[in-house]
Amino acid sequence: MIKNKNILNYRIVGNGYPVIFLHGFLESNAMWEDIVENLPKIQAICIELPGHGQSPLLQDSLSLTSISEAVKETLESMMIKQFSIVGHSLGGYVALHLAEDPDLTINTIVLLHSHPWADSEKKKIDRDRVVKIVDYNKMLFLKEAIPSLYYNEVQNETQINHLIEDAYQMSEKAITQTLIAMRNREDKTNVLKKWGQKVQIIQGEFDQLIDARAMEETSKISGNNFHLIKNIGHMGHHEAKDEVIKLLSSFYLA
């Protein structure tokens, strides 16, 4: 546990070139346990984002910029300025923000079920609706949101229940502030175009949060590397763990 309240909680696994792993919304660095243990050639640094896991919320109002700054400050505390990064969902949004920081040297960006687009007006309205639901009944929101992340809910019932239990430990404030931060984030399609082949995209065929065809088209236009995993939703680290590990092992992260 990190004692400095301005530094995010993190866990380090292995030795080698540093690769930063950033979890998604409602998750913690526990999501990476079965993944990083099977990537022996790197040093995996699994950081918990503000308000998630054991990381403090840091402030009353979050933004993607402030979340990214907290990650940067955490890396600076470890004297790390050169690394690759793997971001799941929200973690991918943070990765694209960090990619624009001139003080950092990032070798490869892996977007695991993530994308560069800002919220549409319809999505922003939905985020506001969800904020009200969380304030009214946090468990109701979790039981509605988390199962929908999976393509096969029955097959992944154990993981779903564990994730609901873990997410329930988050405060309502942490959940709503993160929702607002995602609602207000900027489009980062320009980052994909600028980085080209240095971006690896892993996408689920039946991801309800991301249009796989649109993401594939965007990656082609931007010159990124696109990898589709069939018959899964938004949670490849659970739904297709072996395939995700195989893909990450094949990328040039160092």
Q: Is residue 77 part of a domain?
A: yes
Instruction: Please tell me whether residue 233 adopts helix, strand or coil conformation.
Output: coil
The stretch 222-235 carries a mean pLDDT of 98
Q: pLDDT tens across 136-160, in order? A: 999 999 999 999 999 998 899 999 9
Q: Taking all residues of the chain, what is their mean pLDDT, rounded to a whole number? A: 95
Q: Residue 29: give the domain boundaries.
A: 10-119+186-250
Q: Is residue 103 part of a domain?
A: yes
For residues 250 and 254, give the distance between their C-alpha atoms in angstroms, rounded to a whole number.
11
Q: What is the token pair recorded at 190?
A: 């320009």
Q: Is residue 178 part of a domain?
A: no
Q: Is residue 157 part of a domain?
A: no
For residues 205 and 211, give the distance between their C-alpha atoms in angstroms, rounded to a whole number.
8
Q: Is residue 222 part of a domain?
A: yes
Q: Is residue 105 part of a domain?
A: yes
Residue % of the chain over a pLDDT of 90: 93
Per the structure, how many domains does the chain have?
A: 1
Q: What is the token pair recorded at 17?
A: 């070139």
pTM: 0.96
CATH assignment of the domain containing 222: 3.40.50.1820
Residue % of the chain over a pLDDT of 70: 97
Q: Is residue 51 part of a domain?
A: yes
**Range 5-26 burial, b when 16+ CB lie within 10 A, else e:** eebbbbbebbeeebbbbbbbbb
Q: Is residue 126 part of a domain?
A: no
